[in-house]
Amino acid sequence: MDIILKYFSDFTETQTKQFAALGELYSDWNSKINVISRKDIEGLYEKHVLHSLSIAAVIEFKPGTQIIDIGTGGGFPGIPLAIMFPEVQFHLVDSIAKKLKVVQGVADGVGLTNVTVQHTRAEEIKNRKFDFVVSRAVAPLKELWTWGKPLIKKGNTQELPNGLICLKGGDLAQEIFESGLRPRMVPIDQIFKEEYFKEKFLLHVTA
């Protein structure tokens, strides 16, 4: 929890309690349904929560914004962002039902009212549009864009144009080339100084 407060300090009392509760909730759920590797659960706040919040360091979503988290897994980046932005609506989707049981359990456990979950593949969602698609280490950029683009409302509702925001690591040159896209890239180690964030990037593709 301290590592979160190192970079973000203007939380309400409710948000502070919600972030603090994540450690125990994830440990408890993870012992029943494994969604985070055993070694990573110890570094939950750095490797999962703070990593997710790199998006919040780049954009402050306005109240009423609609966001879909594709392939949310254990709820990242969706759950930390939902705590950070209580007036923003988050729709967390995954194709694996048991992961969503954990996500719903954690959301209920911290009292989030701005999170919905859906057991589906992103490409199967019809007749719904969002301001942003977010994703963390789910699929190559080309595939993410194929799934995400039809779900994004056209327009520019805030400081960043509507689009896809994804968190990725490693040498992305080939992946970006194959996607045919020209994303804005933000090195996360310019935001957070911990060694873990070296060679990790935030990519933003405009719709």
Check the annotation: does 76 bind a ligand.
yes
Check the annotation: does 23 bind a ligand.
no
Contact 142, 178 (CB under 8 A): yes
Residue 35: per-residue pLDDT: 84
Average pLDDT score over residue span 185-206: 97
Check the annotation: does 38 bind a ligand.
no
- Share the mean pLDDT of the chain: 95
Residue 27: per-residue pLDDT: 93
Give domain 2-206's CATH superfamily: Vaccinia Virus protein VP39 (3.40.50.150)
Residue 170 has pLDDT above 80, yes or no: yes
Q: Is the pTM of this model over 0.85?
A: yes
pLDDT digit string, tens, across residues 32-42? 888 888 777 88
pLDDT digit string, tens, across residues 42-101? 899 999 999 999 999 999 999 999 999 999 999 999 999 999 999 999 999 999 999 999
Position 154 confidence tier, pLDDT thresholds 50, 70, 90: confident
Residue 157 has pLDDT above 80, yes or no: no
> What DSSP string runs through the chain?
-HHHHHH-----HHHHHHHHHHHHHHHHHHHHS--S-HHHHHTHIIIIIIHHHHHHHH--PPTT-EEEEET-TTTTTHHHHHHH-TTSEEEEEES-HHHHHHHHHHHHHHT-SSEEEEES-GGG--S--BSEEEEES-S-HHHHHHHHGGGBPSS--SSSPSEEEEEEES--HHHHHHHT---EEEEGGGT--SGGGTTEEEEEEE-
Domain boundaries, the chain: 2-206
Per cent of the chain over pLDDT 90 is 87
Check the annotation: does 71 bind a ligand.
yes
Residue 34: per-residue pLDDT: 83
Closest CA to 201 of 160, 165, 169: 169
Check the annotation: does 97 bind a ligand.
no
